[in-house]
Amino acid sequence: MAKAARESREELRERAKRVVALLKREYPRATTALHYSTAHELLVATVLAAQCTDKKVNEVTEGLFKKYRSPQDFAAARKATLEREIRPTGFFRNKAKSIIELSKDIAEKHGGAVPDTLEDLVELRGVGRKTANVVLAAVFGRPGIIVDTHMIRLATRLGFTAKQDPVKIEFELMDIISRKDWGPFSFTITLHGREICKAQRPLCHICVVEKCCPSSLLRKKT
């Protein structure tokens, strides 16, 4: 964890506040890049996005969402057929199973309506906290911190966490990021991770949060 020496919790929260403000200014319309028209479609798309690019998922769901128009449609899908249709996204067997099961849960337990709380969403088979928080933040406008690979990398570089477990990272960030900013912060982090703070070669020289980033400061000293 790259962290300024003897940084107090309050100092950490103040620095986090500056980072959030800078990223929101840089990406004022940040949201998920996945295409969807309903909460259920976003759930399905997010499941498909695991270990797959958003671009490829959007290519697959363009036709998929024309064929399956509701949770009931997905719940009634033949697993072998759905596997073939989502094969380009990878891990298609597990993804097809999750999509059919979460759709059955929504249809049978929630009358076809996607629940709008974290507690109910993670009760759906195949839905974890990351997927639930994507839907909460993007569809329902509810607070939710989305811990994807970009968040893990950037939160570490920014000195916000030393953890590697996504749930532990989520709870650490919940403590230092203002609740109202959980969703916006998550979406800006994903965009920033893709465009600037890349895994191999971060573009620190054009990074809007460079002066707030201990990792960037350390690079300059070495």
- Give the mean model confidence (pLDDT) for residues 32-39: 97
Q: Which residues are catalytic?
A: 130, 148
Q: What's the mean per-residue pLDDT of the chain? A: 94
Report pLDDT digits (tens) over 142-197.
999 999 999 999 999 999 999 999 999 999 999 999 999 999 999 999 999 999 99
- For residues 21 and 106, what is the distance between their CA atoms, to the nearest angstrom? 37
What is the per-residue pLDDT for 14?
97
Same domain, 20 and 59: no
Report pLDDT digits (tens) over 96-134.
999 999 999 999 999 999 999 999 999 999 999 999 999
- Is 138 part of a structural domain of the chain? no
What is the per-residue pLDDT for 65?
98
**If you search the block for the tokens 């403000």, which residue do you land on?**
21
- Is 159 part of a structural domain of the chain? yes
Domain count, the chain: 2
What is the per-residue pLDDT for 166?
96
Per cent of the chain over pLDDT 70 is 95
Collect all residues with Cβ–Cβ distance below 8 Å to 159 and sequence separation of at least 6: 1, 2, 3, 4, 7, 12, 213, 214, 215
pLDDT band at 220 (very low <50, low <70, confident <90, very high): low
**CATH value at residue 14:** 1.10.1670.10
What is the per-residue pLDDT for 62?
98
- Lowest-pLDDT choice from 1-10, 24-33, 130-139: 1-10
Boundaries of domain holding 97: 39-113
- Is 155 part of a structural domain of the chain? yes
pLDDT band at 4 (very low <50, low <70, confident <90, very high): very low
- Is 85 part of a structural domain of the chain? yes
Compute the CA torsion angle 83, 187, 130, 183 (nearest 10 deg). -140
- Is 3 part of a structural domain of the chain? no
Statement: residue 63 has pLDDT above 50: yes
pLDDT band at 3 (very low <50, low <70, confident <90, very high): very low
Residue type, 158: L
Same domain, 177 and 209: yes
**If you search the block for the tokens 């969703």, which residue do you land on?**
183
- Give the mean model confidence (pLDDT) for residues 74-91: 98
**CATH value at residue 84:** 1.10.340.30
Distances (CA, A) of 106 to 19, 35, 144, 145, 218: 37, 20, 21, 23, 48
- Give the mean model confidence (pLDDT) for residues 12-19: 97
